[in-house]
Amino acid sequence: MGLIDAHLHLQDSRLAGEFESILSQLRQAGVTRWVVNGTSPEDWSRVAEIASDNPEVIAGYGLHPWSVNSFGLAGLEELEYLLLQDPGAVVGEIGLDKWIRDHDNELQKKCFLKQLEIANRLGRSTVIHCLQSWGSLRDCLKEVPPEKPFLLHSYGGPLEMIGDFLDRGAFFSISGYFFRDDKVKKLAVFDEIPSDRILLESDAPDMLPPPELIKLPLADGVNHPVNLVRIYASYAERVSFPLDEVIAQIAGNFGNWYQANARSKADERSVIE
């Protein structure tokens, strides 16, 4: 049983120069599943290529809130087609973000709700990004309730909303970034989440963990996906469970989140027709 990276961006140009060695290092480290999340029409084709060439990869296609201003609703025209071409793909990375400059709340909501509708129509799980928009996120999930499990990746939201998100089918992932000394309070929130709803992620090449969790460095502070190995070890130490038990637990959790995509090709054809 191997390690699972619930969220990363192997298509990112910052990893391109060492892409093949990164894949080799991931396999050598025992990482057996990688959920590679697209962020806009500009990188969806590269995600599809990586998924086609590497059986360990689960593709995610979505319009990230940071890309909404550039593409708007028109940016979703290809999304459903790509998802229909890959019955195993998830919808993500999608969501809401008030942290970025010049954000357009209403356009973000329209794009997010549309992508939730697409996910429901095709029976896909979702990967959700949220920064400083937790109330709006909850409202959107009420308006278009996800019919399949969804992942709140690198969850940084309030403790008091966890119960509501759990009731709606949420899973929550921890990135290595939360093991920094200045993120103690953020990490403590995960202590209140049931262990069967936890996943682990690198979010490479972003969310660089603290120095003690960096297994393999990259230039300019870029987060190497293999740092996931030490994220697993640190989480196991935190919850006081043997690493092999944590690996098994996370694998089971991942299956409960991702099983929603076990749709046959015949079913996909019927959707197209």
CB-CB neighbours of 180 under 10 Å? 16
CB 179 within 8 A of CB 209: yes
Residue 119 is predicted with a pLDDT of 96
The full set of domain ranges for the chain reads: 3-272
CATH of 3-272, one of 3.90.1640.10, 3.40.50.300, 3.20.20.140, 3.40.190.10: 3.20.20.140
Query: What is each CA distance from 28 to 104, 211, 223, in whole angstroms?
Result: 43, 21, 18
Q: What is the pLDDT along the chain (273 residues), one digit of tens a residue?
A: 799 999 999 999 999 999 999 999 999 999 999 999 999 999 999 999 999 999 999 999 999 999 999 999 999 999 999 999 999 999 999 999 999 888 899 999 999 999 999 999 999 999 999 999 999 999 999 999 999 999 999 999 999 999 999 999 999 999 999 999 999 999 999 999 999 999 999 999 999 999 999 998 888 889 999 999 999 999 999 999 999 999 999 999 999 999 655 444 434 333 333
CB-CB neighbours of 78 under 10 Å? 14
Residue 270 is predicted with a pLDDT of 35
DSSP codes joined into one string, 164-196:
HHHHTTEEEEEEGGGGSGGGHHHHHHGGGS-GG
Query: What is each CA distance from 29 to 12, 162, 165, 212, 229, in whole angstroms?
Result: 21, 32, 33, 17, 7
- Could you give the CA distance from residue 17 to residue 12 in angstroms, rounded to a whole number? 10
- Cα Dmax for the chain: 53
Residue 269 is predicted with a pLDDT of 37
- Could you give the CA distance from residue 77 to residue 245 in angstroms, rounded to a whole number? 43
- Could you give the CA distance from residue 73 to residue 177 in angstroms, rounded to a whole number? 32
- Could you give the CA distance from residue 79 to residue 220 in angstroms, rounded to a whole number? 33
- Could you give the CA distance from residue 89 to residue 20 in angstroms, rounded to a whole number? 22
- pTM, two decimals, is 0.93
